[in-house]
Chains A and B, each alone.
Chain A
Amino acid sequence: DADVTQTPRNRITKTGKRIMLECSQTKGHDRMYWYRQDPGLGLRLIYYSFDVKDINKGEISDGYSVSRQAQAKFSLSLESAIPNQTALYFCATSAPRDSSGANVLTFGAGSRLTVL
């Protein structure tokens, strides 16, 4: 099984619908992130969480909300989806530092969302 699992992998929905993307991890990491990736814009941070009681907005949080249900689970919700939220969404995890002192991200395989 993958270290970071995202569901669904693909979703097509209509404008105005509520959508939830889920992420679970077996890395045992405290830190979890949600990014969206758009062509030419790269990865942009939506929300991040350093533990179950810690939620922080990223650079593009408007229109999104998150829930950290447990150390291993971090879900992203679009309360009322709009077409410009069509993108590839990635969940990622990190530990504060690995054995060499580096702080690196482990990504899930992505959730492709299309809003019609």
Chain B
Amino acid sequence: QKEVEQDPGPLSVPEGAIVSLNCTYSNSAFQYFMWYRQYSRKGPELLMYTYSSGNKEDGRFTAQVDKSSKYISLFIRDSQPSDSATYLCASNTGNQFYFGTGTSLTVIP
């Protein structure tokens, strides 16, 4: 079992839709949870991260962690065509990072 599992999609939504991207993880020692966004032919860039359980909001993006169910979510409100990218969830135990395989999102104008 991979440390972090992610539905690869692809996911296609109309502009303005609310997008929900989800991951599960298996290691109870994980404390920081990250979301990276990767545009085509680019490297992943950190979108946001959360510590332990709870929500964190940054503009149209909300990251949510439920440690009781080992569930990580990223919500995108009022999605835009510029949000079209692959989104990777990740966590780490200090020395090692563990990534989901990424979910490909397309926002259709």
- B-contacting residues of A (Cβ < 8 Å)? 4, 33, 40-43, 45, 48, 50, 90, 92, 100-110
Contacts and interface: CB of A to CB of B under 8 A. Distances in A.
A116 to B, nearest CB: 21
B97 A45 contact: yes
A42 B43 contact: no
22 contacts: A41-B101, A42-B101, A45-B96, A45-B97, A48-B95, A90-B43, A92-B43, A101-B32, A102-B34, A102-B49, A102-B51, A103-B32, A103-B94, A104-B32, A104-B49, A105-B44, A105-B46, A106-B46, A107-B36, A107-B45, A110-B41, A110-B43
Say what secondary structure dominates the interface of chain B.
strand
Interface of B: 6, 8, 32, 34, 36, 41-46, 49, 51, 88, 90, 92, 94-97, 99-102
B88 A43 contact: yes
B43 A109 contact: yes
B79 to A, nearest CB: 23
A4 to B, nearest CB: 8
Given A42-B88, A101-B51, A103-B32, A90 B44 contact: yes
Contact of A40 (B32, B46, B94, B101): B101
B96 A42 contact: no
B92 A110 contact: no
Contacts of A43: 44, 88, 99
Contact of A107 (B6, B41, B43): B43
Shortest 9 CB-CB contacts between residues of A and residues of B: A107-B43, A42-B101, A43-B99, A109-B43, A107-B44, A102-B32, A110-B43, A42-B99, A104-B46
B9 to A, nearest CB: 12
Contact of A105 (B51, B97, B101): B97
Contacts of A41: 101
A100 B101 CA distance: 26
A104 B101 contact: no
B46 to A, nearest CB: 5
